[in-house]
C-alpha cells in the first residue's frame, strides 16, 4: 500500500521558531467555526481549538463575527469546487498558511501539492498537523523567504514541473502585497503554467465590498496596527487586466454575495 509522502523542501537546520500570521489564525478559526474544515481546529493553540469545538456551526458565532465566518465558508467552498473539478496533477498553494486541502480532500489522491510559505511558518504547521492522514499523493513544503528567495527557482528546486498543468490557489494574500509584488508573482505563475493550468485568486476591492459596513472605517487602521496593512486592493477591471496580460482568460469573477445566492 502506497503511503503519501510529506516532505520539507528547505534546510531545516536554518529554521527559526515561528508561528502563523494573525490573519492565518483568524482564517483557520473561521473555517473551524463554519464547520467547513475539520482539521483547522488542531492548527490553532489548544485552548482556542477547544473553544472552537464547542461553537462549531453555531449561528450565534456566525452573527457575532459580522460576516467573517460566512465569508470564509463561501470562499473555501468555492475554491474547493475548482480543486474537485480539476483534480490537478499539481496543486500549488501560495502563501499556504494553515490551508489543509492536502489533508482533507480525497480528490487530491493523484496530486502533488506544493505549499509555499516561510519555512518557520511551515515548521510550526508541520508539527501541529503531523497526526492527520494525508489525502494528497504527496505534499512538498516549499520554503520561501520572499525577501531574499526567488519563487520560480524554489518551485523548480522542489520538483514543480512547468510542463505539466497546475492549479494555483492564491487565497487571501493579495490585499497585503504591494502592486509590484503581485505583478512579479503573477509573472512566475504565468511562466510556470502549462496549457490547461488554472489560477484561483482572491482579491480585495477598494470599497471593501464584502465587509460589514460598520467595520469598513476601522479596517484599514486595524490591519496597519497588526502589521499587515492593505497595500494591494484593486478593482475588478484592474484584477482582470493583471491576469489577462499574462495569458490567462477570466472565466469567472464572483462576489461573495453571488456565492451566497448560488
CATH number (domain holding residue 154): 3.40.50.150
Domain membership flag for residue 69: no
Domain membership flag for residue 19: no
On whether the CB atoms of residues 85 and 252 are closer than 8 A, the answer is no
What does the pLDDT look like over 139-192, one tens digit per residue? 999 999 877 889 999 999 999 999 999 999 999 999 999 999 999 999 999 999
Residue 138 gets the label, from left (phi > 0), alpha (psi -120 to 50) or beta, of beta
For residue 3, the model assigns a pLDDT of: 55
3-class secondary structure per residue, 124-181: HHHHHHCCCCCCCCEEEEEECCCCCCCHHHHHHHCCCCCCCCEEEEECCCHHHCCHHH
Comparing CA positions, the residue from 169, 119, 110, 170 lying closest to residue 144 is 119
Domain membership flag for residue 41: no
Residues 6+ apart with CB under 8 A from 173: 94, 95, 202
Domain membership flag for residue 60: no
Strand-pair category, 198-201 with 112-117 = unpaired
10-residue mean pLDDT profile of the chain (262 residues): values are 71 68 86 91 75 72 77 94 97 96 97 94 89 94 87 96 98 93 96 98 83 53 58 94 97 89 84
| Residue 139 structural domain | 5-14+87-261
Cell numbers representing residue 34 in the block:
463554519
Cell numbers representing residue 191 in the block:
511562466
Domain membership flag for residue 46: no
Domains of the chain: total: 1
What single-letter DSSP state applies at residue 5? E
Domain membership flag for residue 56: no
Domain membership flag for residue 142: yes
Domain membership flag for residue 20: no
Cα–Cα distances in angstroms (integers) from residue 58 to residues 63, 70, 120, in the given order: 9, 11, 33
Question: Rounded to two decimals, what is the model's pTM?
Answer: 0.89
Amino acid at each position: 500500500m502506497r503511503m503519501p509522502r510529506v516532505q520539507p523542501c528547505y534546510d531545516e537546520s536554518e529554521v527559526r521558531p515561528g508561528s502563523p500570521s494573525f490573519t492565518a489564525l483568524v482564517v483557520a478559526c473561521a473555517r473551524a467555526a463554519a464547520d467547513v474544515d475539520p482539521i483547522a481546529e488542531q492548527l490553532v493553540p489548544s485552548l482556542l481549538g477547544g473553544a472552537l469545538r464547542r461553537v462549531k456551526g453555531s449561528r450565534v458565532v456566525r452573527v457575532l463575527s459580522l460576516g467573517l465566518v460566512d465569508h470564509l465558508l463561501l470562499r473555501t467552498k468555492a475554491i474547493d469546487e475548482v480543486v474537485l473539478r480539476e483534480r490537478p496533477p499539481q496543486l500549488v498553494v501560495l502563501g499556504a498558511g494553515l490551508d489543509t486541502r492536502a489533508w482533507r480532500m480525497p480528490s487530491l489522491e493523484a496530486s502533488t501539492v506544493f505549499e509555499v510559505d516561510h519555512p518557520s511558518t511551515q515548521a510550526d504547521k508541520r508539527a501541529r498537523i503531523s497526526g492527520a492522514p494525508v489525502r494528497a499523493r504527496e505534499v512538498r513544503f516549499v520554503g520561501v523567504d520572499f525577501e531574499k528567495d526567488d519563487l520560480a527557482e524554489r518551485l523548480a528546486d522542489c520538483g514543480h514541473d512547468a510542463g505539466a498543468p497546475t492549479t494555483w490557489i492564491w487565497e487571501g494574500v493579495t490585499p497585503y502585497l504591494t502592486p509590484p509584488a503581485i505583478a512579479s508573482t503573477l509573472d512566475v505563475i504565468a511562466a510556470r503554467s502549462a496549457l490547461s493550468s488554472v489560477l484561483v485568486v482572491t482579491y480585495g476591492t477598494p470599497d471593501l465590498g464584502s465587509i460589514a459596513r460598520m467595520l469598513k472605517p476601522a479596517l484599514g487602521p486595524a490591519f496597519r496596527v497588526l502589521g499587515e496593512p492593505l497595500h494591494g486592493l484593486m478593482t475588478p477591471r484592474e484584477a482582470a487586466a493583471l491576469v489577462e496580460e499574462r495569458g490567462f482568460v477570466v472565466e469567472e469573477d464572483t462576489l461573495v454575495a453571488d456565492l451566497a445566492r448560488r
